Amino acid sequence: MIEVIVNGKRTAVSSEMNVNELVQELKYTQKGFALALNGTFVSIATYESTVIRDNDSIEILAPVQGG
Amino acid sequence: MSNEQWHIGGKTLKSRLLIGSALYPSPANMEDAIKISKAEIVTVSLRRQAAGEGGGNQFWDIIKSMGIEVLPNTAGSHSAKEAITTAQMAREVFGTNWVKLEVIGDQYNLQPDPFETVKAAEILIKEGFEVFPYTTDDLVVAKRLADVGCKIIMPWGSMIGSGKGLMNPDNLIAIRKQFPDLQLVVDAGIGKPSHATEAMELGYDGVLLNSAIALAQDPVTMADAFRLAVEAGRLGYEAGTMQKREFASPSTPTIGTPFWHQFD
What is the interface pTM, i.e. ipTM, of the complex?
0.96
Q: Do A34 and B60 touch (CB under 8 A)?
A: no
Find the residue in A nearest to B75 (Cα): A66
What pLDDT score does A31 carry? Answer: 83
**Biggest CA-to-CA distance, chain B:** 92
Cβ pair B93, A65 in contact under 8 A: no
Read off the pLDDT of residues B131-164 as tens digits, 9 standing for 90 and up: 999 999 999 999 999 999 999 999 999 999 999 9
Least CB-CB distance to B93: which of A27, A32, A59?
A32
**Biggest CA-to-CA distance, chain A:** 41
Q: Which residues in chain B have Cβ-Cβ distances shorter than 8 Å to A41?
A: 85, 88-89, 92
User: Using 50, 70 and 90 to split pLDDT, how confident is the model at B263?
Assistant: low
pLDDT at B103 over 70: yes
pTM: 0.94
Instruction: Report percent pLDDT > 70 for chain B.
Output: 96
**Average pLDDT of the residues in B61-84:** 96
Inter-axis angle of helices B139-147 and B169-178, nearest 10: 30
User: Using 50, 70 and 90 to split pLDDT, how confident is the model at B256?
Assistant: confident
Q: What are phi and psi of B155, to 5 degrees?
A: -75, 150
Least CB-CB distance to A66: which of B45, B49, B81?
B45
**Average pLDDT of the residues in B50-70:** 84
Find the residue in A nearest to B187 (Cα): A67
How far is Cα B124 from Cα B121, in angstroms, rounded to an integer? 5
b/e per residue B171-189 (b: at least 16 CB within 10 A):
bbeebbeebeebbbbbbbb
What is the secondary structure of B75-133 as a DSSP string? TTB-SHHHHHHHHHHHHHHH--SEEEE-BBS-TTT--B-HHHHHHHHHHHHHTT-EEEE
How far is Cα B154 from Cα A21, in angstroms, rounded to an integer? 41
Q: Do B22 and A66 touch (CB under 8 A)?
A: yes
Q: Do B60 and A43 touch (CB under 8 A)?
A: no
What pLDDT score does B255 carry? Answer: 85
A19: distance to nearest CA of chain B, Å?
14
Catalytic (active site) residue B38: no
Least CB-CB distance to B59: which of A30, A36, A64?
A64
What pLDDT score does B91 carry? Answer: 98
How far is Cα B74 from Cα B58, in angstroms, rounded to an integer? 21
**Average pLDDT of the residues in B116-133:** 98
Q: Which residues in chain B have Cβ-Cβ distances shorter than 8 Å to A39?
A: 81-82, 85
* Residue B259, Cβ density class (10 Å: 0-12 exposed, 13-18 middle, ≥19 buried): exposed
What pLDDT score does B83 carry? Answer: 98
What pLDDT score does B125 carry? Answer: 98
Instruction: Report percent pLDDT > 90 for chain B.
Output: 84
**B55 interfacial to chain A (CB closer than 8 Å):** yes
What is the secondary structure of A27-56 as a DSSP string? T--SSS-EEEETTEEE-GGGTTTPEE-TT-
What pLDDT score does B1 carry? Answer: 55
The single-letter code of the amino acid at B177 is K
Read off the pLDDT of residues B7-40 as tens digits, 9 standing for 90 and up: 999 999 999 999 999 999 999 999 999 999 999 9
* C-alpha gyration radius of chain A: 12
Cβ pair B31, B60 in contact under 8 A: no
What pLDDT score does B5 carry? Answer: 86
The DSSP H or E segment spanning B217 is none
Read off the pLDDT of residues A31-59 as tens digits, 9 standing for 90 and up: 899 999 999 999 999 999 999 999 999 99
Q: Do A40 and B92 touch (CB under 8 A)?
A: no
User: Using 50, 70 and 90 to split pLDDT, how confident is the model at A12?
Assistant: very high
**Average pLDDT of the residues in B76-103:** 97
pLDDT at B226 over 80: yes
pLDDT at B54 over 80: no
Q: Which residues in chain A have Cβ-Cβ distances shorter than 8 Å to B39?
A: none
**Average pLDDT of the residues in B225-252:** 93
Cβ pair A16, A49 in contact under 8 A: no
Whole-angstrom CA distances from A2 to A26, A63, B48, B113 are: 13, 29, 22, 37
Q: Which residues in chain A have Cβ-Cβ distances shorter than 8 Å to B81?
A: 39
pLDDT at B243 over 90: no
Least CB-CB distance to A61: which of B47, B51, B60?
B47
Give chain B's mean pLDDT: 94
Euclidean distance between the first and final Cα of chain B, in Å?
A: 54
User: Using 50, 70 and 90 to split pLDDT, how confident is the model at B95?
Assistant: very high
